[in-house]
A and B are shown apart, each in its own frame.
Chain A
């Protein structure tokens, strides 16, 4: 596939530009990474310039019928996905394609059509701490320009610390921190509240000594069960 693409690139680069607007000989690939507690979500928008669009169309429209079928779109989406590398804390993340949307062939040939690819990868949920995601886009590097950005996570307990890219934005290392999960936090909060409030409650009830507390507790239990014993 890469040889076909490369040959087509060489061919189109010597052709005169015919479209006045927008990028011509670049394959713009813009990725956005969404960080979740148990998943990584990826959005990639791919826009071939007018002068290289025919090469991308050749990869997409495998049967040459001038339309892109859902199966052809999915096959290309999988091919793109295979060219992406994602590692979380040095362990590969398997990404599954969730959606591919393609423009018409004419729109691509005009240099204004964008393919939209969406994928998700499940990752092992871990407790609070720092994590590092490595992303590299190896799809058609000869003619491509890249962009990659971490989105602000939807989970407010996850925060991006730093993003480090190469000059082409072909790769990025995203360091992020994950806060403790809410159920655990709530447990600690409840325990803390109990520790703080117990002496206050006892003082208000006039029970400052443990024997008094025990006796009062016994009386309460007896009162509670008296009806059952004396119907």
Chain B
């Protein structure tokens, strides 16, 4: 039982991290039609900058300053580089962000080195947020904070006690993601600039013809998107690992999220990221393969076929690549995405 709850929470927290990352990408894409390949690189910059700042002034100021730094970098990139290629079409826009990934990777490695860095979360976030204690006799109990050792083991061999702590960093991740979602939503719906952005999400040309300073808005949106990625980076870097390959690791998955959720839809991105997070987490738990499925259905397969690696592939082995399978399936059957409004 606690396995299910903890897995649920793990999946949700991972999904929310993906959402933090992909919300910026969705905004940028919806607004400018630019699929920002370098989004994961901004995530990486956020983690590294956060690491450096936290070493100087501490984690909490880093949480605020690092995203701002990344936002400024993103805005500068948009102003001086990206703007020059708008006139060439969508393909060069994509390509310039593609080239940017290489440059950012090399520069990050140059400044911070090539091995993983230890980006420690602050003292208040270390340790578990709460612990689920499953006592085979007393049932399920929740304890805030860490559970003392005596409660986790029992002298009696017949009684099984399992303690499942849920890390505070993950709980914090979920909290920040939700706060971010709410504030972005409020920004889009309640403020004037938000209304302009919303309009530009679906009708960019009309907004321009109405006289709004669309280039400035673009710069703002790109910067904001990069800043959101930077925020995700600070949190992701301290929860997981801060190393040069972190951009490549999440880079493709966030594209999957954006596409599966639907281009131009923030709620779609939310749905897709939570879905992918949950599926990936739960899929690990299942060891079913096509072979086991066949035997359950009563199909008799020969020994050679049963030994074939493809038939033996279990769901848990393919769990990390399930998102790509989703991507391909969604694009075949519903190219608009789950909640998408535009196809391009």
Q: Are chains A and B native binding partners rather than an unrelated pairing?
A: no
Chain B residues close to A by CB (< 8 Å)? none
